[in-house]
Structure 1
């Protein structure tokens, strides 16, 4: 996490720094990025960078987690707009991503997340079961008749859904698919989840 000094500056300046970090990290491995080029873009001294972050890895991890939270929030918002059709909400989010300009900051944030190499960014943080976010998620599952035995299982499914979306977007990038191909592939995954992969004859035995 950044140092307290970072959180003491204005939200506008925090966002400005995050946008610079995104620009430096989104298309390169952390080993290819130097602190010197970051501070040059920020027009700050090297010492100023270390007033905000422990080191380069700290800045990278914070950038990944910040944009991960934003993207995950947008995915849930899209599902919420289609409350009674869970996977349609995800499909609409993917279709929207498929129409993004490859030069847009949002697309860069997605590319950052699909390339993120530090496993710490996937670490599950402690979750308050009584939080509004968890309750909203449980309501979405209930409306869509998605059965979970416990809240822990529902939270695990939340992480699974987010991984499913990012996996689809990674395939989209790597294979240079069209938006239509992205949606077609996602529908395969939805079919596997909703119907299963065993043949009808196997289910009848």
Structure 2
């Protein structure tokens, strides 16, 4: 997450950095992106960048968090709306999200994110999509040291608000394993959607939604007849 120095910048200067991040990370994967390009686009000295962010990964995941911050598809709210039904909440939340990442205005950024995702990145993205943890850190103006501890606490909160009568999940650890499985279903659907888009310009993102719904139905009902 950004340093406190970044949060004390005028909003216009903060936005210039985020606009530069949007351009660079939409053109290139995280690995290929260049801090030199970012500071040039933002019109700031390279040395200033390191007053605001530890490295390009810091900016990358902060930018990702800002894309999600105004989303009303927060999983916690959806669980409450579905009276604690975790699978139904995930169906609604992630079905909408998949259309957004495949066809929305930030589709190029998301494509680079998901297609080039490694294990470390997948953990950061999972934390944000499933728990909103990056955004909670942002609001509290705290640095990344909170990370995993904060995620564990929020995962425990989600575990408390789900309707356990509908699930065989009995412990917070089992809930974590389940969420990892579910997020793999989401990520693999998104990556396959990008592959389909590349091979077929007429590909409709609703096909990805259908694929996800089938995967979630297997999680809910099993694959056996």
TM-score over 0.5 for the pair: yes
Distance 1:71 1:153, change over 3 A: farther
Q: Choose from 149, 159, 179 the match for 1:126.
A: 149
Is residue 2:18 matched to residue 1:18? yes
Aligned-partner Cα distance in 2 for 1:19–1:29: 16
Quick check: 2:29–2:112 contact (8 Å CA) kept in 1? no
Displacement of 1:61 in angstroms is 4.5
Greater Rg by CA: 1
Aligned-partner Cα distance in 2 for 1:116–1:67: 20
- Provide Cα deviations, 1:48-87, integer angstroms capped at 9, x if missing partner: 11221233344335445x3587599835134443335543
Aligned-partner Cα distance in 2 for 1:34–1:156: 35
Higher relative contact order (CA 8 A, sep 6+): 2
Quick check: 1:94–1:169 contact (8 Å CA) kept in 2? no
Equivalence for 2:220: 194
Question: Which blocks of at least 5 consecutive residues in structure 1 are unaligned?
Answer: 201-205
Displacement of 1:146 in angstroms is 1.5
Equivalence for 1:74: 73
Quick check: 1:141–1:147 contact (8 Å CA) kept in 2? no
For 1:9, what is the secondary structure of its paired residue?
A: coil
Is residue 2:182 matched to residue 1:161? yes
Aligned-partner Cα distance in 1 for 2:71–2:181: 12
Aligned-partner Cα distance in 2 for 1:15–1:161: 34
Quick check: 2:83–2:163 contact (8 Å CA) kept in 1? no
**Equivalent residue runs for 1:22-171 within 5 Å:** 22-64=22-64, 66=65, 70=69, 74-76=73-75, 77-83=77-83, 85-97=85-97, 99-100=99-100, 102=103, 104-105=105-106, 107-108=107-108, 110-123=110-123, 125-127=148-150, 131=154, 134-142=156-164, 145-171=166-192
Aligned-partner Cα distance in 2 for 1:21–1:39: 9
Aligned-partner Cα distance in 2 for 1:142–1:11: 44
Aligned-partner Cα distance in 2 for 1:119–1:73: 27
Moved more, 160-169 or 78-87: 78-87
Distance 1:161 1:9, change over 3 A: farther
Moved more, 171-180 or 6-15: 6-15
Aligned-partner Cα distance in 2 for 1:185–1:71: 26
Aligned-partner Cα distance in 2 for 1:73–1:196: 30
Q: CA RMSD in A?
A: 3.5
